[in-house]
């Protein structure tokens, strides 16, 4: 037999029998026999969608002296040595298995029930309500009034992410990404058979918790694989799911959903701790730590990389965006795009002339910030490569970050004058047209930028990138695994 916080499963010969516990946990109430029978009936019906040959039907048993039979779910017993969780723990090769599970899940999601009633549970506000309910339950489960370390920061990060991302969640609904899914995808309940995976034990007690974004559904298994000590497998599975489902979601949403699933499991662990399960409190603390790590990584940021011509800002911007896996926007390229000039064609002019008049510069920065705002609202972090020598434009960037609830980081590239002069005199034609004379004119008018982090770009690029990364992600080693977009090759 095995036991969870809501059920007990008995194994006998080639059958498994699942009995619901007579418990009231707030989010479910199985204290009456009728409620347990209804739950068993729904479990059979819903799980037959994923594994029709496993869920055989509803049964019952009657103990000695009992007047009324107890309902139970009757299943075909699965081979324990083919559990995905066991394969992970044994260090088995997982790529083929995880591809099969990802394909199976994506195929189900493609055909799963959807519609207005289902989609309503995928809104930003619906997700916020689920988070807040879990936060309240975790606070209520704290025996001495104190909650696990990290919960307060998790609340702040969740609220900040959701506050600025309503367009992202609206786009997910428009794309039909919210489905009647599985809701409880654990490696313990997936059996990797020769003729394909069998996915068991979907969430049956509350439709609202099963009506989720398909990526949210997949994120549960990614979270569980990470808890089993296989973060690379977690990232691989999500990448495969993204490819099979053709999902263009930003990495920030992947991390946010993994964090959500980790926190739900932390709440369940606290419930199990109250039921006397050994090690449950330790598991809850570990899961809250996972939640926090992914929430930090999911935080949306707007990074301004500025400096005079020849300071190395474009080189640093490109390297930083590559390391972070975020979008890079360049004022030099946007300016020429607006003018209909190829990026590599020279448009050199004197200071304040040609494409570099105040009017052209104002138009360029306005377009740069408009594009950044759209990306930030969609969950994409952005690096903006420009001189940022004007205080009013830096203030406009701050307002964009505030409006989209994005973290604003300012970096100012600095090198000795002789280094920048040497770079400008030998620079090949490209998006930037500034020469030594323009750089000198700009330097004479350069205002103070005290809030920016100074980055010395005169030495090795790796050193400058490390300095920039420390400013953008000050938690350092607390980064979660990298989840790659569909169709992206590894570095």
Whether 257 and 399 map to the same domain: the answer is: no
Is the pLDDT assigned to residue 304 strictly greater than 90? yes
Whether 440 and 365 map to the same domain: the answer is: yes
Would you say residue 420 lies in a domain?
Answer: yes
120 or 67, higher pLDDT: 120
Whether 330 and 292 map to the same domain: the answer is: no
Segment 113-134, tens digit of pLDDT: 999 999 999 999 999 999 999 9
Give the mean pLDDT of 423-430: 70
Whether 265 and 362 map to the same domain: the answer is: no
Is the pLDDT assigned to residue 352 strictly greater than 70? no
Whether 109 and 163 map to the same domain: the answer is: yes
Task: Count other C-beta atoms under 10 Å from residue 34's C-beta.
Answer: 9
Give the mean pLDDT of 283-297: 95
Whether 116 and 264 map to the same domain: the answer is: yes
Residue 161 lies in domain: 80-298
Is the pLDDT assigned to residue 222 strictly greater than 50? yes
Least confident of 95-104, 161-170, 232-241, 426-435: 426-435
Is the pLDDT assigned to residue 487 strictly greater than 60? no
Is the pLDDT assigned to residue 277 strictly greater than 70? yes
Least confident of 139-148, 175-184, 200-209: 139-148
Whether 193 and 92 map to the same domain: the answer is: yes
**Residue 485 pLDDT level (bands cut at 50, 70, 90):** low
Rg (CA), the chain: 27
* β-strands 55-61, 15-20 pairing: unpaired
Which residues are CB-neighbours of 322 under 8 A, at least 6 positions away?
none
* β-strands 7-12, 2-3 pairing: antiparallel
d(CA 60, CA 73): 8
Q: What 3-state class would DSSP assign to 76? A: strand
Residue 429 confidence (pLDDT): 65
d(CA 52, CA 264): 27
Whether 431 and 354 map to the same domain: the answer is: yes
Give the count of domains, the chain.
3
Is the pLDDT assigned to residue 350 strictly greater than 70? no
Per the CB < 8 A criterion, the answer to whether 349 and 386 are in contact is no
d(CA 274, CA 271): 5
Residue 144 confidence (pLDDT): 63
**Nearest in space to 303 (alpha carbons), one of 328, 323, 325, 322:** 328
* β-strands 382-385, 301-306 pairing: parallel
d(CA 156, CA 167): 20
- Give me the phi and psi of 173, to 5 degrees please: -70, -40
Boundary (domain end) residue, out of 246, 281, 298: 298
Residue 160 confidence (pLDDT): 97
Is the pLDDT assigned to residue 490 strictly greater than 60? no
Would you say residue 131 lies in a domain?
Answer: yes
Per the CB < 8 A criterion, the answer to whether 347 and 333 are in contact is no
Whether 380 and 350 map to the same domain: the answer is: yes
- Give me the phi and psi of 386, to 5 degrees please: -160, 175
Task: Count other C-beta atoms under 10 Å from residue 194's C-beta.
Answer: 5
Least confident of 1-10, 152-161, 227-236, 334-343: 334-343
Whether 65 and 84 map to the same domain: the answer is: no
Least confident of 179-183, 356-360, 404-408: 356-360
d(CA 337, CA 342): 7
d(CA 132, CA 145): 18
d(CA 345, CA 430): 7
* Angle, alpha carbons 343-348-349 (nearest 5°): 140
Q: What 3-state class would DSSP assign to 204? A: coil
Is the pLDDT assigned to residue 305 strictly greater than 90? yes
Whether 228 and 181 map to the same domain: the answer is: yes
Whether 65 and 104 map to the same domain: the answer is: no
Residue 206 confidence (pLDDT): 85
DSSP-assigned states of every residue in 241-268: HHHHHT----HHHHHHHHHHHHHHHHHH
Residue 488 confidence (pLDDT): 37
Would you say residue 287 lies in a domain?
Answer: yes
Which residues are CB-neighbours of 469 under 8 A, at least 6 positions away?
320, 323, 324
Would you say residue 486 lies in a domain?
Answer: no
Is the pLDDT assigned to residue 491 strictly greater than 50? no
Would you say residue 68 lies in a domain?
Answer: yes
Segment 233-260, tens digit of pLDDT: 999 999 999 999 999 999 999 999 999 9
Would you say residue 482 lies in a domain?
Answer: no
Which CATH number characterizes residue 334's domain?
Answer: 3.40.50.300
Boundary (domain end) residue, out of 298, 326, 346: 298
Would you say residue 491 lies in a domain?
Answer: no
Is the pLDDT assigned to residue 343 strictly greater than 80? no
Distances in Å between the alpha carbon of 318 and those of 80, 260, 374?
49, 31, 20
Per the CB < 8 A criterion, the answer to whether 57 and 16 are in contact is no
Residue 486 confidence (pLDDT): 47
Q: Which residues pair with 471 in a beta bridge?
A: none
Which CATH number characterizes residue 223's domain?
Answer: 3.90.1200.10
**Residue 198 corresponds to which tokens in the numbers above?**
């069998």
Is the pLDDT assigned to residue 316 strictly greater than 50? yes
405 or 4, higher pLDDT: 405
**Residue 86 corresponds to which tokens in the numbers above?**
């066991």
Q: Average pLDDT over the chain, rounded to whole? A: 90
Would you say residue 488 lies in a domain?
Answer: no
Is the pLDDT assigned to residue 51 strictly greater than 90? yes
**Residue 332 corresponds to which tokens in the numbers above?**
């030099």
Share of the chain above pLDDT 90, in %: 73
* Angle, alpha carbons 199-200-205 (nearest 5°): 130
Residue 275 confidence (pLDDT): 82
> 111-143 b/e with 16+ CB inside 10 Å = b?
ebebeeebbebbbbebbbebbeebbebbeebee
């Amino acid at each position: 037999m095995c036991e969870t916080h809501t059920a007990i499963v008995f194994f006998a010969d080639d059958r498994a029998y699942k009995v619901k516990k007579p418990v009231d946990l707030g989010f479910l109430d199985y204290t009456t026999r009728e409620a347990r029978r209804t739950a068993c009936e729904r479990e059979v019906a819903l799980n037959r969608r994923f594994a029709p040959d496993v869920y055989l039907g509803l049964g019952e048993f009657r103990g000695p002296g009992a007047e009324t039979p107890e309902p139970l779910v009757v299943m075909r017993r699965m081979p324990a040595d083919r559990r995905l969780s066991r394969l992970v723990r044994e260090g088995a090769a997982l790529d083929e298995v995880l591809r099969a599970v990802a394909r199976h899940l994506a195929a189900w999601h493609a055909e799963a029930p959807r519609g207005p009633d289902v989609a309503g549970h995928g809104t930003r506000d619906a997700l916020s309500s689920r988070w807040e309910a879990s936060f309240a339950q975790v606070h209520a489960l704290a025996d001495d009034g104190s909650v696990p370390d990290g919960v307060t920061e998790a609340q702040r990060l969740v609220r900040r992410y959701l506050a600025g991302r309503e367009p992202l969640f609206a786009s997910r609904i428009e794309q039909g990404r919210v489905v009647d899914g599985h809701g409880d995808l654990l490696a313990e309940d997936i059996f990797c058979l020769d003729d394909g995976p069998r996915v068991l034990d979907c969430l049956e007690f509350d439709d609202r918790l099963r009506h989720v974004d398909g990526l949210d559904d997949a994120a549960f298994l990614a979270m569980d694989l990470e808890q089993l000590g296989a973060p690379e497998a977690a990232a691989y599975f999500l990448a495969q799911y993204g490819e099979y489902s053709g999902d263009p979601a930003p990495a920030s949403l992947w991390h946010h959903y993994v964090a959500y699933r980790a926190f739900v499991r932390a709440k369940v662990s606290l419930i199990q701790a109250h039921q006397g399960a050994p090690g449950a409190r330790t598991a809850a603390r570990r899961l809250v730590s996972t939640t926090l790590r992914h929430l930090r990584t999911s935080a949306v940021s707007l990074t301004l990389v500025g400096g005079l011509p020849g300071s190395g800002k474009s080189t640093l911007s490109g390297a930083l965006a590559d390391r972070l896996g975020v979008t890079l926007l360049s004022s030099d390229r946007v300016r020429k795009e607006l003018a209909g000039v190829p990026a590599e064609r020279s448009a050199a002019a004197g200071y304040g002339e040609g494409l570099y008049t105040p009017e052209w510069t104002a138009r360029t920065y306005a377009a740069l910030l408009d594009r950044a705002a759209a990306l930030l609202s969609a969950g994409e972090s952005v690096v903006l490569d420009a001189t940022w020598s004007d205080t009013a434009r830096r203030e406009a960037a701050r307002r964009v970050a505030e409006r989209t609830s994005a973290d604003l980081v300012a970096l100012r590239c600095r090198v000795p004058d002789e280094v920048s002069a040497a770079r400008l005199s030998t620079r090949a034609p490209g998006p930037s047209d500034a020469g030594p004379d323009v750089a000198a004119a700009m330097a004479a008018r350069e205002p103070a930028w005290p809030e920016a982090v100074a980055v010395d770009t005169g030495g090795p690029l790796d050193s400058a990138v490390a300095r920039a990364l420390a400013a953008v992600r000050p938690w350092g080693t607390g980064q979660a695994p990298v989840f790659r977009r569909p169709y992206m090759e590894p570095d």
